């Protein structure tokens, strides 16, 4: 299990930064129980090794005028690797597509899209997504409300699994 390559302090650092990436190194060091210089070294090592991929602000889409959130389930004509990669690149280029995940099952991809209004999304759907090369079908579901949107991973589950194997 990859999580066991990290010691408890590294995992604690990751959990704290996942919850609040803006805290100072001094505050982080205090929370994890070490001094600031080794804490900073550990954070840099976690960044360099890819455990920390970046730091982001959690912006409120509605306050910025993005009232519509849609999940689009996309079926492709071909699932050849070159065609899958081409579709993934196309998704990276579409600003309204905020997440793109390849799935196993009835659909090939699920896309999380945001738009300022329904007509903007409909325009994207008809002029870009369904018109894209290799797209066979698109089914959409409009989000009515969200009940949970936690980032990252559940560290409590990781710690419980590590405790079982120790």
Taking a C-beta distance cutoff of 8 angstroms, is the pair 32, 13 a contact? yes
Q: What is the largest CA-CA distance in the chain?
A: 56
Each residue of 98-155: pLDDT tens digit? 999 999 999 999 999 999 999 999 999 999 999 999 999 999 999 999 999 998 999 9
Whether domain 2-57 has CATH 3.40.50.2000: the reply is no
Question: Please, what's the b/e burial string for 117-144 (b: 16 or more CB within 10 A of its CB; e: otherwise)?
Answer: eeebbeebbeeebeebebbeebeeeeee
Distance CA 56, CA 15 (A): 15
Predicted pLDDT at 147: 95
Q: Please name which of 100, 82, 83, 103 lies closest in space to residue 91, comparing C-alpha atoms.
A: 100
Q: Domain 62-142 - what CATH class?
A: alpha beta
Listed in sequence order, the residues at least 6 apart from 152 whose beta carbon sits closer than 8 Å to its beta carbon are: 18
Q: What's the count of helices (H) and strands (E) in the chain, helices before strands?
A: 6, 4
pLDDT band of residue 5 (cuts 50, 70, 90) is confident
In 3-state terms, what secondary structure has residue 63? helix
Same fold, 2-57 and 62-142: no
* Boundaries of every domain in the chain: 2-57, 62-142
User: pTM for the full model?
Assistant: 0.88
Each residue of 32-57: pLDDT tens digit? 999 999 999 999 999 999 999 999 99
């Amino acid at each position: 299990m990859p999580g066991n390559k990290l010691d408890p302090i590294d995992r604690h650092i990751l959990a704290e930064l996942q919850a609040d990436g803006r805290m100072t190194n001094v505050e982080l060091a205090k929370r994890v129980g070490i001094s600031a210089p080794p804490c900073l070294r550990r954070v840099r090592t976690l960044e360099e090794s890819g455990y920390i991929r970046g730091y982001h602000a959690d912006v409120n889409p509605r306050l910025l005028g993005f009232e519509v959130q849609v999940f689009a389930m996309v079926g492709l004509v071909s699932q050849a690797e070159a065609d899958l990669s081409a579709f993934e690149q196309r998704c990276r280029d579409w600003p309204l597509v905020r997440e793109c995940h390849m799935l196993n099952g009835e659909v090939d991809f699920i896309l999380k899209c945001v738009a300022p209004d329904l007509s903007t999304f409909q325009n994207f759907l008809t002029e870009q997504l369904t018109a894209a090369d290799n797209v066979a079908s698109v089914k959409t579901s409009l989000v009515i409300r969200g009940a949970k949107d936690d980032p990252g991973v559940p560290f409590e589950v990781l710690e419980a699994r590590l405790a079982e194997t120790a």
